[in-house]
């Protein structure tokens, strides 16, 4: 099983530049989770490329700006940083997201942990005072950090989000900023990978 797969977008640079400016004011706390309101033109560009992959439009553009995550978290401490993604509206897992690197991503990575756990809801307030609900893992025995690491430095990456995951950020205390794209259709990771491969094959045939 794989946990990530490269997924290029022509609009990556424009979305990254907009996100960088949008998130510039968030610069004092250790983590920010902000729903970025992309301009209509960027949303249309993104949805057009998603359609070229055979995917549903985007429903959420969620920026994560964090620092101080210096290592892989011990899985028995129930750290909120190790979590799965899910929808509070449908109570269903979010199977994958498309991670656009923005800045501070060099020498950072996303990782996953497999093992024996129960998902529990945890409420917490973000630095803006907004109450959020997350699904964190209550571990019954030590989990195993999988071998694969997703180094998302230059190219957008499709990532599994229904398996416990977190990130390691830069060791110089600078921020790592990404924007995570969630799909309206909540397509499953393996299905999206197959569609990416079909597009790769079609492009190689044209060339």
pLDDT digits (tens, 9 = 90+) for 109-147: 999 999 898 888 777 666 556 666 677 788 888 888 899
Q: Which residues contact 168 (CB under 8 A, 6 or more apart)?
A: 69, 70, 71, 72, 108, 109, 111
Residue 139: its pLDDT value, please? 84
What are the residues whose beta carbons fall under 8 Å from the beta carbon of 88, sequence distance 6 or more? 133
Give dist(CA 130, CA 124) in Å, integer.
8
Contacts of 13 (CB under 8 A, 6+ apart): none
For the chain, give the longest Cα–Cα distance: 51
The pTM of this model reads: 0.91
CB 23 within 8 A of CB 177: yes
The span from the CA of 27 to the CA of 153, in Å, is 21
Residue 62, classed as helix, strand or coil, is: strand
Mean of all residue pLDDT scores within the chain: 89
pLDDT at 82 over 90: no
Q: Is the pLDDT of residue 52 over 60?
A: yes
Check if the beta carbon of residue 149 is closer than 8 Å to that of residue 56.
no
Picking from 38, 54, 2, the residue whose alpha carbon sits closest to that of residue 180 is 38
With tokens 């609900």, the residue in question is 133
Residues 6+ apart with CB under 8 A from 161: 84, 85, 93, 94, 95, 96, 97
**pLDDT tens per residue across span 9-38:** 999 999 999 999 999 999 998 889 899 999
**Amino acid 76: pLDDT:** 56
The residues that bridge with 160 in the sheet, in sequence order, are 96
């Amino acid at each position: 099983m794989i946990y990530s797969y490269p997924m290029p977008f022509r609009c990556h640079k424009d979305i990254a530049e907009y996100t960088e400016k949008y998130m510039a004011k968030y610069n004092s706390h250790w983590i920010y989770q902000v729903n970025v309101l992309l301009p209509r033109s960027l949303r249309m560009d993104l949805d057009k490329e998603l359609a070229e992959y055979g995917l549903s439009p985007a429903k959420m553009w969620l920026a994560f700006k964090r620092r101080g995550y210096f290592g892989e978290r011990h899985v028995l401490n129930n750290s909120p940083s190790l979590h799965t993604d899910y929808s509070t509206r449908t109570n269903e897992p979010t199977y994958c997201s498309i991670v656009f690197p923005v800045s501070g991503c060099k020498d950072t990575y996303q990782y996953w942990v497999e093992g024996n756990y129960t998902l529990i809801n945890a409420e917490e307030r973000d630095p803006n005072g907004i109450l959020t609900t997350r699904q964190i893992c209550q571990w019954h025995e030590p989990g195993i950090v999988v071998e694969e690491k997703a180094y998302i430095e230059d190219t957008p990456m499709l990532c599994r989000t229904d398996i416990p995951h977190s990130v390691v950020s830069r060791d110089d205390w600078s921020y790592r900023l990404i924007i995570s794209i969630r799909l309206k259709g909540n397509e499953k990771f393996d299905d999206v990978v197959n569609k990416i491969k079909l597009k790769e094959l079609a492009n190689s045939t044209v060339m």
